[in-house]
Structure 1
Amino acid sequence: MPDTLLFHKAFYHSNSREWVVFIHGAGGSSSIWFKQLKAYRQQFNVLLVDLRGHGRSAEKLTSQHRDAYTFRSVSDDVLSVMDELKITCAHIVAMSLGTLIAHTLAQHWPQRVKSMVLGGAILSLDCRTRCLIHLGDSLKNIVPYMWLYRLFAYIVMPTSRQQESRRLFIREAKKLCQSEFKRWFRLALNVNPMMARYQENMNPVPTLYVMGDKDYLFLAPVKAWVRDHSLSALVEIGDCGHVCNIENAQMFNRHSIEFIAQQSQTG
């Protein structure tokens, strides 16, 4: 495996020609998909990747990965893995900040994206969230980064039902070094202007948004977006928060796999 490639693992299906690429969020790793892997492998070829600085890709940092941190360059990392495995087109399943990478792929390389399933999708940051990010940005050189990450984990996943998700993300975030955390933190500051540009001229990729009905930070913008875009659909999972693929894996898997299977037939 070339040193410049992200750490990845591919699972091949004996009959299916459809590929699903899983993209985790900031501070996580491909391990967040442990409740999806078995169900998806029964129907599709599956590719798991650890984004730069995350999981086992943290061991593979190169000067190329350190120099340019934009959503487009991080998305290009994913494409490089797809190219290596000769995956010409795939269904993208992403969570949280990973949904911004999925949108970037669809915007710049639409021919490579057959459909998207976006869980805990981030389309914009409200005033409260922007203030918290700016506060965190101003403190990132003073306060230990794990303190900041724990704070944000509790803000995004505040309830006792979300304890498993919090613990998983905090555990995975410990694998990030502080310099990597700062780079990803700065990326979050670009969410609103980037998504505003994309939404002005969004490429027509069929998209299913899967959101917890208690995802109070990010659900409202998704509802507004879906109302105005015929190629987008929304499934709300009851009594569920931001990381819905973990909190209610059964519902997430059922709706997402049905959607991908439908897009596989129509594509």
Structure 2
Amino acid sequence: MLYNTFITAENGNTETIVLLHGFGGNSRIWKYQIPLLSKYFNVLTVDLPSHNEGNLRLSQIDVTLDAISKEILAVCDMHNVRNAIFMGVSLGTVFVKYIEAFYPKYVKFGILVGAVATVNTLLHGCAKLFSKIGDKLPFVAVYHVFSWIIMPGKRNQESRSIFRKCAIALNKQEFKLYMHIFNQAFRFSKMFEKEYHPENTYISGMLDSCFLRRTILEAQRSCGRMIQMVSCGHVCNIVHKERFNTIMLELLEQHQKLSAEAAF
């Protein structure tokens, strides 16, 4: 079972929001959101395979999007979470989308932060290269290069720092396996953008040089809502946490209002 934490809503609400972090991180990536969310919702955080000390390793299961998604859903089942809001950041958004596509009963709607869509040639090429020789290179150096490609520049310094600290639980073998997951994710994104998902909201930074342009296209083609945050890079919930939290709460309040209206 994947490492997870379930926090009961302070206001007694029975609705749950499931949080999925990105590659190299763990649930600490949501440290600025969890205290706020838990006031109004049950919060279930799930750490992806190989992330966090002592967690299930990717090398212990099939190296596929489906296998990881089933492990996430096994955690949901354990907590009797059968229909929830899902919010993911970076690679975590891929699993939100995958579960929507293949296990849709679990997802009310998705909030996709710094979504991974189809990608530029540089990142795609790096993922292919590291999937072949990633375990033969100095792990720390490779990880620093990878984090700079995804989150370049001074504005992303805090995000990179958290990203690298959380990566301690990874090793070069697990890193190499995750490059295969990234390659699958890029292929899956081509399929997903052809589907109809108006329930989703994408939140991306306008300085996200890797993913923004193609994320906008995915949102348009799948009929999702697109929100762009100015002066912000890939990991929006950290770079501008106060502004992100305001947007997040507005989305959730809109959902609760619509749910209340539908009940009448």
Q: CA deviation at 1:15?
A: 2.0
Query: Do residues 216 (structure 1) and 209 (structure 2) align?
Result: yes
Q: CA deviation at 1:87?
A: 0.9
1:141-160 superposed matches below 5 A: 141-160=135-154
2:245 to 248, 253, 260: 253
1:185-264 superposed matches below 5 A: 185-200=179-194, 202=195, 204=197, 206-230=199-223, 232-264=224-256
Secondary structure at the aligned position of 1:114 is classed as strand
Secondary structure at the aligned position of 1:189 is classed as helix
Question: Using the alignment, how far apart are the partners of 2:218 and 2:197 within structure 1?
Answer: 13
Secondary structure at the aligned position of 1:121 is classed as coil
1:130 to 114, 117, 124: 124
Q: CA deviation at 1:145?
A: 2.1
Q: CA deviation at 1:194?
A: 1.5
In structure 2, the residue matched to 1:22 is 19
Q: CA deviation at 1:254?
A: 1.4
Distance change >3 Å, CA 67–CA 82, structure 1 → 2: closer
Q: TM-score, normalised by structure 2?
A: 0.92
The answer to whether the Cα contact below 8 Å between 1:91 and 1:260 also exists between their aligned partners in 2 is: no
In structure 2, the residue matched to 1:68 is 62
The answer to whether the Cα contact below 8 Å between 1:157 and 1:242 also exists between their aligned partners in 2 is: yes
The residue type equivalent to 2:16 in the other structure is W
Q: CA deviation at 1:132?
A: 2.0
Kindly tell me the number of residue pairs found equivalent between the two proteins.
258
Q: TM-score, normalised by structure 1?
A: 0.91
Identity of aligned residues (%): 27
Contiguous gaps of at least 5 residues in structure 2 = 260-264
Q: CA deviation at 1:205?
A: 5.7
Secondary structure at the aligned position of 2:193 is classed as helix
Q: CA deviation at 1:188?
A: 1.0
The answer to whether the Cα contact below 8 Å between 1:106 and 1:205 also exists between their aligned partners in 2 is: no
Provide, for residues 134-175 of structure 1, a one-character-per-residue CA deviation record: whole Å limited to 9, x for no partner.
233343132122211110101111111211110111111121
Q: CA deviation at 1:55?
A: 0.9
Secondary structure at the aligned position of 2:136 is classed as coil
The residue type equivalent to 1:16 in the other structure is N
Contiguous gaps of at least 5 residues in structure 1 = none
CA RMSD of aligned residues (A): 1.7
